[in-house]
């Protein structure tokens, strides 16, 4: 069962090619992927927080589709505490998703920006 010289050379070149491919794969891996591998992925608590925040914003956006609303009106419509509603409204305002309108009963109205205005 001894190998010929040609067989040994072929086996060595196959091994070297496989090793080179493996090292190239490691080099191609982005730092964020390496970090995720080391840490075991994205923490479950962070995923849950992100999902909850997205659900809140979706609900607020849906409530604002009916027209401008104040923080107390959005709180009543969404069922979330007013401090959370306000926090999300300020984030949505910062990123150009909503606009602040007229003051009504000591509260400002908030409305969705038109689709064309959001893209600018």
In terms of domains, do 18 and 53 share one? no
Helices 71-78, 82-94: axis angle to 10 degrees equals: 110
Q: What is the pLDDT of residue 79?
A: 93
Q: Any bridge partners for residue 98, and if so which?
A: 112
d(CA 119, CA 104): 28
Q: Any bridge partners for residue 100, and if so which?
A: 110
In terms of domains, do 76 and 35 share one? no
d(CA 112, CA 115): 9
Tens of pLDDT, residue by residue, the chain (120 residues): 466 767 666 666 666 666 655 555 556 888 888 888 888 888 899 999 999 999 999 999 999 999 999 999 999 999 999 999 999 999 999 999 999 999 988 999 999 998 655 554
In terms of domains, do 58 and 108 share one? yes
In terms of domains, do 18 and 55 share one? no
In terms of domains, do 55 and 111 share one? yes
In terms of domains, do 64 and 109 share one? yes
Q: What is the pLDDT of residue 25?
A: 55
pTM over 0.85: no
Q: Are residues 62 and 80 in contact, defined by beta-carbon separation less than 8 angstroms?
A: no
In terms of domains, do 34 and 10 share one? yes
* Structural domain containing residue 66: 46-119
Q: What is the pLDDT of residue 114?
A: 81
CATH of residue 93's domain is 1.10.10.10
d(CA 51, CA 59): 12
In terms of domains, do 27 and 60 share one? no
Which sign, positive or negative, has the C-alpha torsion 92, 98, 101, 104? negative
């Amino acid at each position: 069962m001894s190998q010929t010289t040609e067989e040994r050379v072929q086996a060595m070149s196959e091994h070297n090619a496989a090793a080179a491919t493996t090292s190239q794969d490691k080099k191609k891996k982005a730092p964020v992927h390496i970090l995720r591998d080391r840490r075991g992925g994205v923490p479950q608590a962070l995923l849950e927080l992100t999902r909850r925040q997205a659900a809140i914003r979706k609900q607020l956006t849906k409530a604002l589709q009916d027209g401008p609303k104040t923080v107390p009106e959005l709180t009543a419509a969404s069922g979330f505490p007013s401090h959370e509603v306000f926090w999300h409204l300020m984030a949505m305002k910062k990123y150009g998703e909503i606009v602040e309108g007229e003051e009504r009963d000591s509260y400002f109205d908030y409305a969705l920006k038109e689709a064309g205005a959001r893209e600018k």
